[in-house]
Every structure is written in structure tokens, then in C-alpha cells.
């Protein structure tokens, strides 16, 4: 059904420019798994900063209300006002489902029954599975004490591997980070199972193409079988053990839910690397972070380092496009949107809107101290509302443990190419985590 004519709609030229300047660059970087070459190019071209400026121009032309993009396939709106973002995110899943058509097509490549792409009554128990296992409302997971030793041992191994090279880069951090992830989720018996991580990476590579490539059903089945065999060990101290004890977990199809964890821990690693780079580029913040890292505080309670992680996500959101779809007609001041309208929330626009935010391009972790990242409009680092990320506390907790160990190791870390994050200038809109490098000067 065509939307009413009164609803503000971009011209054909503006719609094409929007697709070329906002949607396409984000898609090219890789929605489900980042493409390294495209991400490097995106930083060189500063594509996210350009996209934000384009959105600001659209707001100046059409005002603050939702704006329709001309789209031959289905009505597609973009949001320009923080209050509308709140309304849409709070209205999940009844009026605004997170299970949008394109997200279903993409995630079905590896987790067709995941909560995020489930419509109807089956969503609630699947979402409850995540809330219970990840303890979504608790700043400190009850297994935090058990995981501290794992994080410290694996972070020390990262430093040891880096020692011979004289620097740490993405590959080394990624290896160590995913050993932590496998041990936390499945137990130490999965520490060496790189193949598991590789399998889901291959499936995510296909998911980047959503509808455009067929699902590799054999690989998907093999991945789920492998995950199930780890899960069956229910190793004490792991999330697998939590799942094993959880009443009714089987009905939620655990591996379908946990596939999302293995997907999402990858951007969490990227955010950790970016947070480290940002800290090393900002001497005052670094001094505070080091103080915290070297203190006697429990490793699960490092508020400034947690805040640095969330601030890295504000500056460089790892879910730049939060997608929703209307399930019924919805009324707006500007008119009515029909059921089935796609809704796009472009996070960088709300996070870096320098026409509204005084410090949009500065690194200011203190703003996140003791603040729930899912209740911080206009920011949505972990989304908000009933479909907000259930790992919004777990991710900052684990990342802050890693950062603390790196900063308190006794080895001095130095950001290579510091001009990429010069604190005297506005921070760039895009920061490629794969090319960040940290030197360990000899004897320092």
C-alpha cells in the first residue's frame, strides 16, 4: 500500500543520494561481518562523518519527523528525532518488530530461530533465554569472579605473543579475545576450537549478502552440531553450565540463541580495541584508566574502563543501522505509515550530531559513569527498549577486564599512527579497528 502523500518524502534524487551516501557505505563495510578492505577505505573517505552531514541536511530540509525514502520495494522511513527513536524501540516487538525482512534474510544464514528475527509468541521465551543466561539487568554477572582468571591468563598470552613482534594488532587481539569468549561461553574445553569461530565467520560472510546468496545448510548444520557438542559438556563456570541448569532452556533452542553470542562478541572485540586506542590517545583519560587498572578494585567493578568501552561504541557504533518494521498502521504527526514499513535508525547520526551535541566528536568516557547504556537517549550503543542488547552489561564488564590487564601489565603500550586519533582535532567519523596497532617499546 502506498503511504499517504502528506508524509514527508525525499525526492528521487535525494533518495538516490541517501542510498549512495548512507545505506550503501554501511552495507559495503559489511553489516553482519566487516569486510576489511572496505572498512579501511571507509576510514580514508570518512564515510560516516559524511553520512551524518547528509542526514543533517535532510533534517534541515524536511524537519524532524520521520522521512520516507523513495523505495520501489516497500515504504521505508528514516528517523531524525530522538523521541521517535524511543517510541519505535519501546514499541518492540508489538508495533515495531525487530524481525525486519532484511534482518531475517541475513541472520537466517546462521540462526533462523534466533529471538531477534522471531515474530509472534515464540519470541518471548527466546528473549527470556538471553536475559536469564546473560543476566541482562545485572551490572556484574554471577560468574565474573570465575572469568577474571581466564581473562587475565588470555590477555597475558596476547602480550606474550606480541612481545616477540614488538607490537599488538587486530589478529593477535582477535585470537586471544575469542579464546576468552569460547572459554566464558562454553568452558576451557572449547578454548582451542578456532574452527567453531571460523565456521560462524564463513556463515556471516554469506549473511552479509542476505537474500542474494543461498543458505549453506550443511555448514549451518555442522556449526550447530559442533556448538551443541560443546554445550553438552556443561562445563562448570561457563555459560553452558548456566544454560544446562536453566528450566525450559531446550524449548528456546539454545544453539540458535547462542549463535548470536558468537556473532556479537566479534564487534565487542572491535570496540575493545577502539577503546584501547582512544585511551592511549588521550593522556588524561589514560591516567585515570591506569589508576583504576592498577587499583585493588574487583575486576568486575571498573567503572571508568567500562565507560571507555561504551564511549568507544558511541563514537563508533558497531550496530550502525538499527532496523525495525511496522506490524500495523502507525500514526505520526506527519501522517500514517502502513503496516510493513521499514524503519531505519542510523545510530551515527544520533551519536555524532554536532548540531545538537556540544562534544559530539570528543572522547568523554566520564559521561557514561554509572549510566545504563540502554537508557541514554539520544544514544543507542546497545539499542533500547524490550529488544535492547541483553549483553549490555556483560560486554563492558569483560572488555574492561581485558583493558585493565593490558594497561596494568607493566609493559608500556603506545598507539602507532597516533595522528589518526589526534585529541586536538575532532575525532574521525570512522575508525578501522583492523589496522590499529599498539607498540610495546623494548624495556618500557
In the complex, the residues that contact ligand HEM under the rule CB under 6 A are: 98, 115-116, 127, 130, 134, 260-261, 264-265, 267-268, 271, 313, 318-319, 322-323, 381-383, 387, 389-391, 395
C-alpha to C-alpha distances, 343 to 8, 78, 102, 264, 323, nearest whole angstrom: 14, 6, 11, 22, 6
CA distances from 173 to 70, 163, 406 (A): 42, 13, 11
Pairing outcome for strands 342-346 and 76-78: parallel
| Shortest distance in whole angstroms from residue 7 CB to ligand HEM | 24
The nearer residue to ligand HEM, 10 or 242, going by C-beta atoms, is 242
* Smallest distance, ligand HEM to C-beta of residue 4, A: 27
Whose Cβ is closer to ligand HEM: residue 23's or residue 416's?
23
Q: Compute the least distance from the CB of residue 121 to ligand HEM, in Å.
A: 14
SS3 call for 5: coil
Burial of 355 (0-12, 13-18, 19+ CB in 10 A): exposed
* Least gap, CB of 381 to ligand HEM (angstroms): 6
Q: How many angstroms separate the CA atoms of 369 and 351, rounded? A: 17
Q: Tell me which residue of 321, 328, 309, 316 sits closest to 383, measured CA to CA.
A: 321
Find, among 391, 130, 76, the residue nearest to 265 by Cα. Answer: 391
Residue closer to ligand HEM (CB basis): 271 or 403 = 271
Our CB check for ligand HEM shows the closer of 340 and 423 to be 340
Cell 567519523 appears where? 429
Q: Is the Cβ of residue 166 or residue 248 nearer to ligand HEM in the bound state?
A: 248
Q: Which residue has the cell 519501546?
A: 90
The grid cell for 231 is 554445550
Give 76 or 383: the residue with its C-beta nearer to ligand HEM: 383
Buried b (16+ CB within 10 A) or exposed e, 50-83: bbbbbbbebbeebeebbbbbbeeeebbbbbbebe
Please state the closest distance from residue 13 (CB atom) to ligand HEM, in A: 29
Query: Which of 22, 132 has the CB closer to ligand HEM?
Result: 132
CB of 272 to ligand HEM, least distance (A): 8
Distance CA 274, CA 310 (A): 10
State the minimum distance, in angstroms, from the CB of residue 51 to ligand HEM.
Answer: 17
Sheet with 414-415, edge to edge strand ranges: 167-169, 437-439, 414-415
Q: Looking at beta carbons only, is 345 or 440 nearer to ligand HEM?
A: 345
The nearest distance, CB 34 to ligand HEM, in angstroms, is 12
Amino acid at each position: 500500500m502506498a503511504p499517504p502523500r502528506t508524509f514527508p518524502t525525499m525526492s528521487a534524487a535525494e533518495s538516490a543520494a541517501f542510498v549512495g551516501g548512507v545505506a550503501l557505505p554501511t552495507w559495503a563495510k559489511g553489516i553482519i561481518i566487516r569486510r576489511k578492505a572496505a572498512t579501511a577505505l571507509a576510514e580514508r573517505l570518512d564515510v560516516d562523518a559524511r553520512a551524518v552531514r547528509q542526514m543533517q541536511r535532510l533534517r534541515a530540509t524536511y524537519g524532524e519527523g520521520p522521512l520516507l525514502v523513495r523505495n520501489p520495494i516497500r515504504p521505508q522511513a528514516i528517523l531524525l528525532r530522538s523521541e521517535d527513536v524511543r517510541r519505535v524501540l519501546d514499541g518492540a516487538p508489538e508495533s515495531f518488530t525487530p524481525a525486519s525482512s532484511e534482518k531475517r534474510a541475513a541472520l537466517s544464514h546462521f540462526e533462523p530461530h534466533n529471538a531477534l528475527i522471531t515474530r509472534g509468541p515464540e519470541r518471548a521465551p527466546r528473549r527470556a533465554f538471553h536475559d536469564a543466561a546473560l543476566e541482562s539487568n545485572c551490572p556484574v554477572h554471577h560468574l565474573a569472579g570465575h572469568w577474571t582468571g581466564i581473562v587475565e591468563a588470555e590477555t597475558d598470552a596476547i602480550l606474550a605473543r606480541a612481545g616477540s613482534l614488538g607490537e599488538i594488532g587486530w589478529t593477535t587481539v582477535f585470537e586471544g579475545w575469542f579464546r576468552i569468549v569460547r572459554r566464558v561461553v562454553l568452558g576451557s574445553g572449547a578454548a582451542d576450537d578456532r574452527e567453531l569461530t571460523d565456521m560462524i565467520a564463513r556463515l556471516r560472510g554469506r549473511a552479509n549478502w542476505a537474500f542474494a546468496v543461498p543458505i549453506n545448510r550443511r555448514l549451518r548444520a555442522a556449526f550447530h552440531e559442533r556448538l551443541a557438542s560443546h554445550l553438552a559438556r556443561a562445563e562448570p563456570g561457563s555459560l553452558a553450565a548456566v544454560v544446562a541448569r536453566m528450566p525450559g532452556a531446550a524449548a528456546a533452542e539454545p544453539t540458535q540463541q547462542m549463535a548470536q553470542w558468537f556473532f556479537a562478541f566479534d564487534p565487542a572485540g572491535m570496540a575493545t580495541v577502539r577503546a584501547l586506542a582512544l585511551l592511549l590517545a588521550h593522556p588524561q583519560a589514560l591516567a585515570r584508566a591506569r589508576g583504576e587498572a592498577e587499583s585493588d578494585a574487583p575486576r568486575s567493578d571498573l567503572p571508568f574502563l567500562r565507560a571507555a568501552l561504551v564511549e568507544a561504541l558511541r563514537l563508533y557504533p558497531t550496530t550502525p543501522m538499527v532496523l525495525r518494521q511496522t506490524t500495523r498502521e502507525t500514526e505520526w504527526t506527519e501522517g500514517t505509515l502502513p503496516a510493513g514499513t521499514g524503519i531505519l535508525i542510523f545510530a551515527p547520526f544520533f551519536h555524532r550530531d554536532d548540531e545538537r551535541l556540544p562534544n559530539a566528536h570528543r572522547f568523554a568516557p566520564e559521561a557514561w559513569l554509572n549510566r545504563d547504556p540502554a537508557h541514554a537517549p539520544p544514544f543507542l550503543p546497545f539499542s533500547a527498549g524490550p529488544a535492547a542488547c541483553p549483553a549490555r552489561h556483560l560486554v563492558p564488564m569483560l572488555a574492561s577486564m581485558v583493558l585493565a590487564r593490558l594497561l596494568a601489565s607493566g609493559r608500556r603500550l603506545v598507539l602507532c599512527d597516533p595522528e589518526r586519533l589526534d585529541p586536538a582535532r575532532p575525532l574521525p567519523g570512522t575508525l578501522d579497528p583492523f589496522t590499529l596497532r599498539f607498540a610495546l617499546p623494548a624495556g618500557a
